[in-house]
Amino acid sequence: MRRRLINTYLLLLTLVLLALELPLMASVAARRTEAMMIDRLLDASGYASLADSSLRSNQLVSLREGLNRYYELYGIEGAVFDRDGKLKITSGDPAAFDTPEVRQRLSQALAGDRAGTVNTIWPWQRDRLIVAVPVTSGAEVIGAVVTLSPTDRMRAEVARLWIGYGLAGLAAGLIFVAVAFALARWILRPIAELDGTAHRLAEGTLDARVAADLGPPEVRRLGRSFNEMADHVEDALERQRAFVSQASHQLRNPLTSLRIRVDNLAEYVDLAGLEEHRLTLSEVDRFGRILDSLLALARAERGRHMRDEVDAAVIADARVAAWQPLAEQRGIALERTGPPSAPVQAVVTAVDQALDALIDNALKFAGSGGHVTVQVRPGAETVELHVIDDGPGLSHDDLRRATERFWRAADAQNLDGSGLGLPIAAVLVEASAGTLALHRAGARGLDAQLTFPAAASDLDRAEISHGARVQADRAGRDAGARVDPVGPRELPADPGPLGEQRGDDELHEVR
């Protein structure tokens, strides 16, 4: 935009300078030509007055000497013609007076008119200035005086003036260019800041604002309006998140009380109602997991996350160890491959929560005899974590909806889960400047890929690994306490729809 604004300004400036300087240059050349012609007409008129008596007496010696002296001093050739147009005397080359232009001016002079060059002589022309004046005796024309003046000096003077005007215009143009850049910067700098702030706001930095005191009044007003809009958006989102968090928190107490009461009814339920009583308890537990997921999502979406350096490989080892009992119970082979260390920059708990969500979904749908692999693939700038299973996979349409909140596949409505685990993982991965991608793994199955930025510094890997291992072990103990190898009731909060349907080769990526 700055380039277009400056180019438009410079185009208009160039047109204005040309409109001013071109007529000025033409006027200078015309004035110089006119002044020279008037001067030569006066000189030729003086010789015409002398030629009057010389032609009548046929005494041309003094007149010839005067023309020769005039030629020696000024380089101007002169000639005297009689009334019949016959050349009487000349200074310089006689052939120079036998041209169509000279004959035309001579004819005008013999007709009683003063004749001279009427066209402007430009610096690139080499034409001589022709002046013809009649010689009269009383009212009778008895001859004519013609002079041929070189224009080199006059043309050089005009060229110097033109160069001066051009340099002045160039200097003015450079000044105007500097002014144009300053104006463009003054006008567009707040707009560029507004654009950058809008992008930061879209990326989740809700406290981003623009300086409303820069630029023209219209841009300042736009900045104030943008800040007001951002304030309203931030307030609305904070109110929404606060409502979700508070509502979820307030519902936990009555839900806990309800579960206790339903659980206490077990001794009053006859054998025919035991199955219905168990299903009721399962539904109450599912509602509790949904509330926990809502609270986690509200915390994850606040967008104010601090990134730290953690070892993704060590965390992957801890998560695989934590889920191993459930995998053995379901008859699924769960393993981890890759190097022992892969430091990344990520939000605290982002790696382990995302892996929990993906491993849980993979174990749900791999089926007995299935195989789930957690791979760590470090690269120069990023580290990839893959959770690959050999389950039925996701369809193309469901891949696009896999991260929608509360979304459940049509054939997975009766499975445990709230539909919030994967959205929570996606938010945390995005806050870590990473990506979550889903695509098909071979002929069937799903490859859920987490990508995190690799650690930028070359810190001591042993210290990083030790700190990450302590954190991962703590997280593993917490998850191990939640994983019940006997049944699914105490499993971690369901991470959502990931793995509830499988699909095509096309990649679906959440940034």
Q: How many angstroms separate the CA atoms of 389 and 58, rounded?
A: 127
248 and 121 inside one domain: no
Looking up residue 259, the CATH number of its domain turns out to be: 1.10.287
Is 160 part of a structural domain of the chain? no
Counting residues of the chain whose pLDDT is more than 90, the rounded percentage is: 8
At residue 451, the pLDDT reads 92
Residue 357 lies in domain: 305-510
Q: What is the mean pLDDT of residues 446-453?
A: 89
> Do both 277 and 311 map to the same domain?
no
**Same domain, yes or no: 402 and 253:** no
Give the model's pLDDT for residue 136: 86
Give the global pTM: 0.42
Q: What is the pLDDT of residue 317?
A: 92
Asked if residue 270 and residue 328 are part of one domain, the reply reads no
> Given a cut of 50, is residue 462 above it in pLDDT?
no
pLDDT of residue 335: 93
* Residue where the block lists tokens 């605290």: 348
Task: Walk across the sheet containing 371-378 and list its strands.
Answer: 333-337, 371-378, 382-389, 446-453, 435-440, 508-510
**330 within domain boundaries:** yes
Q: Note the pLDDT tens digit of each residue in 385-400.
A: 999 888 777 766 666 6
25 pLDDT more than 60: yes
Strands (DSSP E) contained in 126-280 are 129-137, 140-149
Mean pLDDT over residues 107-132, rounded?
A: 83
Lowest-pLDDT range of 204-213, 223-232, 382-391: 204-213
C-alpha closest to that of 43 among 77, 85, 13: 77
168-190: pLDDT as tens digits:
888 888 888 888 888 877 877 78
Residue 420: pLDDT band with limits 50, 70, 90:
low
Q: Are residues 261 and 275 in the same domain?
A: yes
Please report, rounded to a whole number, the percentage of residues in the chain having pLDDT higher than 70.
77
Of 133, 155, 177, the residue at which a domain comes to its end is: 155
CA distances to 261, 269, 275, 277 from 272, rounded to whole Å, are 19, 8, 7, 10
pLDDT exceeds cutoff 50 at 191: yes
Q: What is the pLDDT of residue 485?
A: 35
